[in-house]
Structure 1
Amino acid sequence: MTADEDCALEAFELAAVDYLLKPVRAERLARSVSRISELIKDGSKVPEMITVDQGGTTRMIRRDDVSYVQAQGDYARLHTAEASYLIRVP
């Protein structure tokens, strides 16, 4: 959910099920929840996502897109075909 329409393309590239713009109307939220419920019932595989911070922007990357991981102390560097991301390991 966001107030930024420009993020819609990136959301769907990340296999988003739906995209809600603020302010969210109750009927629009209900349709989105219904769509997700149907996917769960049908057994559709939802890609696992990893949240990463890149230059002050939070991004979601697919776990399947990670080629390899390097340990760096309390951090891990995730490498994809496009970029690498440094994340703190809990």
Structure 2
Amino acid sequence: MILRVPGIGIKSARQIIASRRFSKLGFYELKKIGVVMKKAQYFITCNELPTRTVNELTPTGVRRLLVPKPKKKVDERQLILNFTDNE
């Protein structure tokens, strides 16, 4: 089940399972292992993270947080000034 969490890969999952045998893991330990916390923070709970979870967010809110923001397009109607000497 831990592999289904976004931001946790196979290598990180194995390290998490091995580390949990000895103590609890926090935000910094997970980040040190290699978990992408930007994606995983909404699907896990630990003391250092805010209490917002996926259950409290709407599907569109989760999508907005996980999908990268699109880059701004340049408007084709925008005037482009060329400052090169063509003479």
Q: Would the TM-score normalized by the shorter structure come out above 0.5? A: no
Structure 1 or 2: more helix by fraction: 2
TM-score of Structure 1 vs Structure 2, range by shorter chain? under 0.3
Structure 1 or 2: more strand by fraction: 1
